[in-house]
Chains A and B, each alone.
Chain A
Amino acid sequence: MTLLLEVDDLSVSFGDTSAVRGVSLSLAPGERVAVVGQSGSGKSTTAHAIIGLLPGSGRVTGGAIRWRGEDITHAEERRLRRLRGREVGLVPQDPMSNLNPVSKVGRQVAETLLAHGMSTRRQAWRHAVDLLGQAGIPEPARRAKQYPHEFSGGMRQRVLIAIALACRPDLLIADEPTSALDVTVQRQILDHLEALTDELGTALLLVTHDLGLAVDRTSRVVVMSEGEIVETGPVRQVLTEPRADYTKRLVAAVPSLTAAREPVADTEPVLEVVNISKEYRIRGRGGVLRAVDDVSFTVGRARTTAVVGESGSGKTTIARMVLGLVHATSGTIRLDGAELDGLRGDGLRAARMAMQPVFQDPYASLNPMWTVERVVAEPLRTLGSADRATRRARVAELLDQVAMPQSMAHRYPNELSGGQRQRVAIARALALGPRLVVCDEPVSALDVLVQDQILGLLSELQRELGLSYLFISHDLAVVAALAHEVLVMRNGAVVEHGPVAQVLSAPTEPYTRQLLDAVPGASVFDGSIVVPR
């Protein structure tokens, strides 16, 4: 059997910085291979090099890329243009920005067909409608006449898949095809992609940061770190007997769906949320959107209550209402028995000292113009009464608590990695010794190894300081690691509510079941392998 694609000792540099070193991999016709790695590991760069689409100053500095035995490493642009689309299809990462917003969806598919001479001008539209139908778009004839903004994220990704498969390529490169989508949508899209490539006999090169996804969808994985391949082999083997240290850590860091927390006795509530709702008026139409609908829960002392849901479920609105950033339309929120709504002056001050936030995006939640020391000291300045020297000592203590070296105190946020920034955000939240920390997706912007460290830090701090967490997340696996109690939300309403072990292992609602099933790699990780934590 001849190999479809052969990458031999490939090196890629951007200017003087080497991005990929000595990467070799191969693909047989119809085979599915995953390239797994964290951000900056060179996995996307490798994929882009294969189809000659290196951005900016990137160029191949060594090695060879062979397509069906033909060396295309330094092929002319004309050859590459025929290769792309016709022989190799690409599904890009971001479905939001990869479609032309002013062109009808059907036309964008038809254009691809015409550009590669796969269809005549008269048949192109009908052909495009067929392709959209195959990609799983309902009512393709009607929807082909719509514009991208009328499509949801998942539907747009289906359109991109239709475009990538339009010319029946032999290889499909999918670069993080679903990382911008909700898990249930991700599952539908990948199921469909799998069925389509099976039917057409298309080989798949899946570039992803998610080891679980690789396990579910491919037969062989290539693990990359810092521009080099650290391990390669059949999925099962890499997973069960990882040889490289890096792979071992990666496998260990994949959050398990088994609840990490033992069932514990309830403690007195720190936060009580009773029947809160939030309505937004929809401008122009006179309608009302219920972003949060009659939600009640409590967070006990030294306990974690997690709110899980997909985008648009209202979970972030809940966090903002609790923090007092958004006013609830109805219902009450009590912190230590005191009602939060309408608090002013000293009462509000006390409430804010008792409750601090950690936000999702560590790049956005720290003022880029301030040093770490100043960022962490801010709540001490606004709410505390300490003098300069005391503040400085407290900052040092806080940095210790989040395992940040003191030398970092005078750095600026853009000099830190994502995980370090999130540590700074946690240190800031702890500055005043709060009883409740509201975490809004605190680890979803982080790589899996870093995510594991931050989750470890959070649970350690909970044990040491007796903190209570209101933990907002879209990721059930993350919730499993930290929560005592879970609320599952959908469209603003609570679908299921209970202790973590019960919700994760014996859900009563079909939607919860659906969410659990959609977690990539769940079956494998929870079945044959005991994930050490």
Chain B
Amino acid sequence: MTTAEITATPAPLVRGRTLRRLRRNPLGVVGGVLLLIVVVAGAFAPLLAPYPPTEVHFATPFQQPATVGFALGTDDLGRDVLSRVLYGIQASLEVGLLAVLVAVVVGVPLGLLAGYWRWVDAVVSRLADLMLAFPALVLAVGLAAINGGGLANAAVALGVAQIPTMIRVVRAETLRLKESEFVLAAHTMHAGPSRILGQHILPNALSAIIVQATVIMPTAVLGEAILSFLGLGIQPPNPSLGIMLSDAQQYLFRTPWPGIFPGVALGLICLGFNLFGDALRDALDPRSGS
């Protein structure tokens, strides 16, 4: 949702060219199709899923995939794996989007300020360095442990862990753009800092921000699975790909299927975002051939 809003702002022409370039990149098209499938699956999970995700069928545990009634089989409690994967994808995307939102809402303004004023930079960049000294996941695990489980808390923890990288990206763009001639011209037109940052620098930094968002998204999706796997993320019985993996490992030798499908779903989400993000970066880069 956030990404859609952001892409809508650039000039129509720029967007048209970007789309054309994206279409010409085969890997980008594959990524886009994967994303479309994943997003449809997550968004329409309530319509697509044959059962509620938490509904148990004690009579039919450990069904194989392609069983009548359970397309992807059932788990140890007889819950439909397909339904749980669909709802799991939904939860993953929700966490991913929320995390991106947190990173953008906090990281972008801080990055802009740090790039524009040296004294802010001294404070913000040191704090960002401090956070970057910890691996993002360790930070997220720590925050999740403090705040407790749940989808929203996991998303905030993962988003906060990504703030420093977003700050760095936006700061670098701001440093570059503030020396450009159109910003100098704006100074001579008595434009104040808020006008220069908001209307001149931010719109021109959007492509970098969008690309960074497509990097944060799969990281957050994976992060959610890891937190949930460790019991720090989404709490059972709510469906989550991480919880499914965690459950599945207990009876992995009896039937591997309930572990394989959520794993594949996770892989597809990350692959989709990475391929699409790479293609988007190339398409938005004005220096690459038109």
Q: Which residues of A contact B (CB under 8 A)?
A: 56, 320, 323-325, 348-349, 352-353, 355-357, 359-361, 364-369, 371, 378-379, 382-383, 412, 414-415, 425, 428
Contacts and interface: CB of A to CB of B under 8 A. Distances in A.
Nearest to A364: B181
A364 B188 contact: no
The 8 tightest CB contacts between A and B, nearest first, are A365-B181, A369-B203, A364-B181, A379-B189, A359-B181, A367-B182, A352-B190, A382-B191
B187 interface: yes
A357 B195 CA distance: 19
B204 A368 contact: yes
B13 A414 contact: yes
Nearest to B9: A369
Contacts of A353: 190
Chain B contact patch, size range = 20 to 34
A415 B289 CA distance: 16
A324 B192 CA distance: 14
Contacts of B195: 382
A428 B289 contact: no
Interface in B161-213: 180-182, 184-192, 195, 199-200, 203-204
A425 B185 CA distance: 9
A367 B204 contact: yes
A425 B190 CA distance: 16
B11 A364 contact: no
Nearest to A359: B181
Interface in B237-290: 289
Contacts of B184: 320, 323, 325, 357, 359, 365
Nearest to B185: A365
A352 B188 contact: yes
Contacts of A324: 187-188
Nearest to B182: A367
Contact of A369 (B185, B188, B189, B204): B204
A378 B191 contact: yes
A383 B199 CA distance: 16
Contact of B190 (A359, A365, A367, A383): A383
B190 A349 contact: yes
A368 B182 CA distance: 9
Nearest to B13: A412
Contacts of A355: 188
Interface of B: 10-11, 13-14, 180-182, 184-192, 195, 199-200, 203-204, 289
A366 B11 contact: no
Nearest to A357: B188
Nearest to A438: B188
Nearest to A324: B188
A323 B10 CA distance: 30
A134 B103 CA distance: 60
Contacts of B203: 367, 369
Contacts of A412: 11, 13-14
Contacts of B10: 369
Which of B182, B195, B204 has the most A CB atoms < 10 Å from its CB?
A: B182
Nearest to A320: B184
Contacts of A364: 180-182
Contacts of A414: 13-14
A366 B182 contact: yes
A119 B14 CA distance: 52
Contacts of B188: 323-325, 352, 355-357
Given A369-B14, A379-B189, 20 more contacts: A56-B289, A320-B184, A352-B188, A352-B189, A352-B190, A355-B188, A356-B188, A359-B181, A360-B181, A365-B181, A366-B182, A367-B200, A368-B11, A368-B204, A369-B203, A378-B189, A382-B190, A383-B190, A412-B14, A428-B189
B285 to A, nearest CB: 13
Contact of B182 (A320, A323, A356, A365): A365
A359 B185 contact: yes
A379 B188 CA distance: 9
Contacts of B204: 367-369
B209 to A, nearest CB: 13
A357 B203 CA distance: 23
A422 to B, nearest CB: 12
A383 B181 contact: no
A356 B189 contact: yes
Contact of A415 (B13, B185, B190): B13
22 contacts: A323-B184, A323-B188, A325-B184, A325-B187, A325-B188, A352-B190, A359-B184, A365-B182, A365-B184, A366-B182, A367-B182, A368-B11, A368-B182, A369-B11, A369-B203, A378-B189, A382-B189, A382-B191, A412-B13, A412-B14, A414-B14, A415-B13
A489 to B, nearest CB: 21
A425 B188 CA distance: 13
Nearest to A366: B182
A425 B189 CA distance: 12
B284 to A, nearest CB: 12
B77 to A, nearest CB: 54
A224 to B, nearest CB: 23
A427 to B, nearest CB: 12
Contacts of A349: 190
A131 to B, nearest CB: 35
A357 B13 contact: no
B94 to A, nearest CB: 31
Contacts of B192: 382
A328 to B, nearest CB: 16
Nearest to B180: A364
Contacts of B190: 348-349, 352-353, 379, 382-383
Contacts of A425: 185
Which of A349, A353, A368, A428 has the most B CB atoms < 10 Å from its CB?
A: A368
Contacts of A368: 11, 14, 182, 204
Contacts of A366: 182
A349 B13 CA distance: 35
Contacts of A320: 184
Given A367-B204, A368-B204, A357 B11 contact: no
A382 B192 CA distance: 8
B281 to A, nearest CB: 18
A344 to B, nearest CB: 12
Contacts of B289: 56
Nearest to A375: B182
Contacts of B13: 412, 414-415
A514 to B, nearest CB: 30
A226 B265 CA distance: 54
Which of B11, B13, B188, B289 has the most A CB atoms < 10 Å from its CB?
A: B188
A340 to B, nearest CB: 12
B259 to A, nearest CB: 47
A180 B123 CA distance: 41
B185 A428 contact: yes
A319 B10 CA distance: 32
Nearest to B17: A414
Nearest to A368: B204
Nearest to B177: A367
Nearest to A371: B11
A315 to B, nearest CB: 16
A412 B188 CA distance: 22
Which of B11, B180, B195, B204 has the most A CB atoms < 10 Å from its CB?
A: B11
